[in-house]
Amino acid sequence: MEEKTILVTGIGGNVGQGVLRNIRSMGRNIRLVGIDIAQFNAGCHLCDASYKVPYSYDPSYLDAVRDIVGKESISLVIPTTDYEVFYLSGAALTLGAPVAASEASVAKRYLDKYVTYLFHTKNGIPFSKSWLPSEYDGSCADIILKPREGRGSRGIHINPENPASFSVDYMIQPRHEGIEITTAFYVTKSGKLHGLITMDRELANGATSRSTVNRRWDARLKTIIEQMIALGGLRGSLNLQSIVTANDEIIPFEVNCRISGTNSIRHNLGFRDVAYTVQEHLYHEEPEKPHVIDGIAVRLLYDVIYPGATDETQLTHSRCGHIIY
């Protein structure tokens, strides 16, 4: 089979590294090129070539990606960070390669959690009640204040003394008690829900440290997700984060318009959304049917060591001698 080349963004993070490992596991004749804001990072050893690029909001970012697409004969771009989904999707027609992502206008909406709340509320789709700091009415005993844009647990404040003092860049939600769940789902190029997988999870430093497959709420989550899809523009792998309260109420509080960080876990539990992406967008095949199984996963750290190396700027690909320990 003819070799094809995929460009994966954000390879310094766990999402991009999971995507790289999943593509490798498919056993297809695929060459992998990675990009990141850091020249040397933990994803370099998984790539055939890697490049440093500016932040996605930098005016030179898209030109840098276009240059790499041309130089490396890229056949598909898979963005793994929220902002890269937005910028690359918006530039897809001039990039030189297709981008596996939702429409740019939809990605922009889901970058902003307060805009997400307004949109879902307008369309009758469940989402956590949200306020701007200046609008908060003091009706909740427990609140969480967070940036409207951003990921992980950065910038979060629990029950701040003076919520109104925060800028319009923040938002407030009730601090819901319950089980936190993450639901990955895949939307085909034709706009159909291909499947979903839900996991309970525990977080450490804003990232999943433990997860367990949980099918209990899948039927209700499917209804919520299909409502979202029906409004148009969602494509590929996405992630819905929710809290399930003691009263069994599902309260979504965030939508990630990208492949999420547990992609390597769910790949081994029967929901291979990275593979679906490659099958559909690179080979124009029907994505394989999901076969979700029960399972529990924990995350660990390991080391990539380059014995004898003295210049990290040369350690940009998998052929550099390294040990995984």
pLDDT at 153 over 70: no
- What would the pLDDT profile of 168-198 be if each residue is shown by its tens digit? 999 999 999 999 999 999 999 999 999 999 9
Q: Residue 247 falls within a domain, yes or no? A: yes
Instruction: Answer yes or no: do 189 and 284 share one domain.
Output: yes
Mark whether 267 and 190 lie in a shared domain. yes
Estimate the crossing angle of helix 61-71 against helix 82-90, to 10 degrees: 70
Q: What is the DSSP letter of 97?
A: S
Identify whether 261 is part of a domain.
Answer: yes
Whether 164 is in a domain gets the answer yes
Q: Quick one: which of 279, 123, 119, 253 has its CA closest to 186?
A: 279
Q: Is the dihedral of CA 253, 269, 22, 196 positive or negative?
A: negative
The tens digit of pLDDT for each residue in 83-108 reads 999 999 999 999 999 999 999 999 99
- The helix (H) or strand (E) run that includes residue 32 is strand 30-36
Total domains, the chain = 3
Residues 6+ away with beta carbon under 8 Å from 303: 323, 324, 325
Instruction: Give the residue among 208, 195, 197 at the shortest CA–CA distance from 289.
Output: 195
Dihedral sign for Cα atoms in the order 132, 134, 136, 137: negative
Query: In this structure, is residue 225 part of a structural domain?
Result: yes
Token code pair at residue 60 = 């030179």
Tens of pLDDT, residue by residue over 140-149, are 989 999 999 9
User: Within this chain, do residues 169 and 181 fall inside the same structural domain, yes or no?
Assistant: no
For residue 124, the 8-state DSSP code is T
The CATH number covering residue 79 comes to 3.40.50.20
Closest-CA residue to 130 (of 184, 168, 93, 76): 168
Q: Provide the whole-model pTM.
A: 0.94
142 and 166 together in one domain: yes
Share above pLDDT 70 across residues of the chain, in percent, rounded to a whole number? 98
- Does residue 272 share a domain with residue 182? yes
Same domain as 147, residue 81: no
Q: Which residues contact 2 (CB under 8 A, 6 or more apart)?
A: 29
Contact 173, 142 (CB under 8 A): no
Question: What CATH number has the domain bearing residue 260?
Answer: 3.30.470.20
What whole-number distance in Å separates Cα of residue 238 and Cα of residue 106?
12
Say whether both 209 and 145 belong to one domain. Answer: no
Q: Which domain holds residue 75?
A: 4-101+307-320
325 part of a folded domain: no
Report d(CA 213, CA 67) in Å as an integer. 41
Q: Determine the Cα–Cα distance for residues 198 and 322; give it in Å rounded to an integer.
A: 36
- Asked if residue 135 and residue 206 are part of one domain, the reply reads no
Same domain? 194 vs 273: yes
SS3 28: coil
- The widest CA-to-CA distance across the chain, in whole angstroms, is 62
Measured CA to CA, the distance from residue 86 to residue 223 in angstroms comes to 26
Could you tell me whether strands 30-36 and 4-8 are parallel, antiparallel, or unpaired per DSSP bridges?
A: parallel
Segment 213-268, tens digit of pLDDT: 999 999 999 999 999 999 999 999 999 999 999 999 999 999 999 999 999 999 99
Does residue 213 lie in a domain region?
A: yes
314 and 229 assigned to the same domain: no
Residue 220, SS3 per DSSP: helix
Q: Are residues 168 and 182 in the same domain?
A: no
Do 212 and 158 belong to one domain? no
Instruction: Show which of 121, 150, 174 is a domain's final residue.
Output: 174
pLDDT of residue 205: 67
Are 258 and 81 in contact by the 8 Å Cβ rule? The answer is yes
